Structure 1
Amino acid sequence: MTATVLRPTLPALMVEENVRAALLEDLGRAGDITTYATIAPDLKATAAMNSREDGIVAGIELARTAFRLVDPTVTFEALADDGDKVGPGTPVARVAGTARSVLSAERVALNFLMHLSGIASYTARFAGEIAHTSTRVCCTRKTLPGLRALEKYAVRIGGGSSHRYGLDDAVLIKDNHIAVCGGVAKAIEAARAYVGHLVKVEVEVDSLEQMREALHASPDVILLDNMGADLLRQAVAINRAHSGLAADEYAGDRRRVQLEASGNVNFSTVRAIAESGVDFISTSKITMAAPTLDIGLDIVVG
């Protein structure tokens, strides 16, 4: 029986902390002097936040929080939920309140909403390319400083998965670790001896020879770095033979060593990489190269 996958959530405290910091950065030392100078304090405004292109929404609560922190009397009506598909002209939210408050919160609300929706939309494109396989696309630690939890949340909204969140929640032995430590197996054994039993150990290899060495040291995951589809298929075959599993048992067995592919992942290569039979594809592109989703705030006249 397939387990129900619950929608990811962001803790309210985390949302408020990030939005508050962004507002303080934007308002500076004197507040929104343009709005204060041109808009009378008693004027009211209603505005619609509309998508201007196709995509996936992410970041509704951050937008809501921006308006609330500037002025608790501003009303924010979400017209789309995180994970919803939108197109040109689709209303995402409607806000109403004093014009000063609406305009002062506008940019921070849109910045979060456009950035996170862009990541969710870009992730969804990658996930769609490999939906016919059991492979999952994952983001990495290559995120904007201070926004990692938010960006990884957006990846999950878009149908992707998260790699480790930081240096402290999983071991990833990379080529430089191996070079300094003195070998693949030695590094894996040292990591196993150091961390607790709940911490996963992954090792990066760049050749099938290194992969064979790694398999004998029994890591949880082997990262196959910058290997083409042919080499990846060979790696999957080696892993299957090492596991002793039949072909029809291999894909669904999570007790065996898992294989992750990374490097040269783009829309023209991701399908062949997934079809090689690897379990995961990690790429920084879904966080570092994702364009924003064009969402605008339009004052409703009349």
Structure 2
Amino acid sequence: MTPLISVVIPTFRRPHLLQRCLNALGKQTFAHDAFEVLVVDDGNELATADLVDAAADATGLAIRYLPQVQRRGPAAARNRGWQAAEGCIIAFTDDDCIPQPGWLAAANAGFEAGATVLTGRVIMPLPDRPTAHDRTTALLESAEFVTANCFCMRSALERVGGFDESFDLAWREDSALQFALLEAGISIEPCPDAVIVHPLEPARWEAPLRNERKNQYDALLYKRYPHLFRKRIPQYRGLVVAYYGAVGSAVLTAGGVAVNNRALVRAGGLSWLVLTAFLTAQRQAGQPVAQLPRNALISAVTPFLSVYWRLYGSVKHRVWFW
């Protein structure tokens, strides 16, 4: 029997999370012989292949394992998955997500009602005392369109060429697909009954610093779709201005030291301290006092990384984006 729905899951060296996701798919209320699962392994690991085989045996689902010879990012992995799929409806989720039992059944009802593209609902439970990183990550709940929970007719993906593989990290590749669909005149409809739970995974303290690298892809998305970017992507202008102000203040201080101008040193140093204290207070909100030194360090370093990656993206993609 040819499956109606093909579920595509990119994965990279997170077997325990992938196992949880596949187990959840085994509990779908939608007929198991009406959908298949394609796991695209960007890590090309034997252990993941063995896990997929074991999950197929345990759940009775039709699960296929597709290795990527070279790591190319989730956008390329999703393209590999939907292009190899047999279903006319492509469902996307991630290896760290838990599709709820009625996930596929709710989406199928939407397509029977005439939808071409659907976006489901994401639930991200927060811990009792969430960090600033937790709160930022949980903004995924309110995003318009995320590849952790969306469904497309194959014809829609073929029409826009699938995912833009220039977005080779897990950032903005979902918005790039959303904008390509909208520019092609393809409507995206909400499907709030198609629910996935996306638990927050523990993150190392430096994760917010590493995540600043993603800012370069904002420049690429802006270059591709300037009007839709300005209309649909949150700008956080106040925070960006604070980052540029902190970097500018540090440069002013260094310049004052270089020319032995105490007035410049005082002005730049005081401005930097005020802005860094402001950023630290935002990050520290609701956290134990013991986290203050760590949050102060992150707040002091983040502006330099953020500005660097923003400017790097602007230069690389030849677009003015600050």
Structure 1 or 2: more helix by fraction: 2
Q: Could you state the TM-score of these two structures normalised by the residue count of structure 1?
A: 0.27
Q: Could you state the TM-score of these two structures normalised by the residue count of structure 2?
A: 0.26
Between the two structures, name the one with larger relative contact order (CA 8 Å, sep ≥ 6).
1
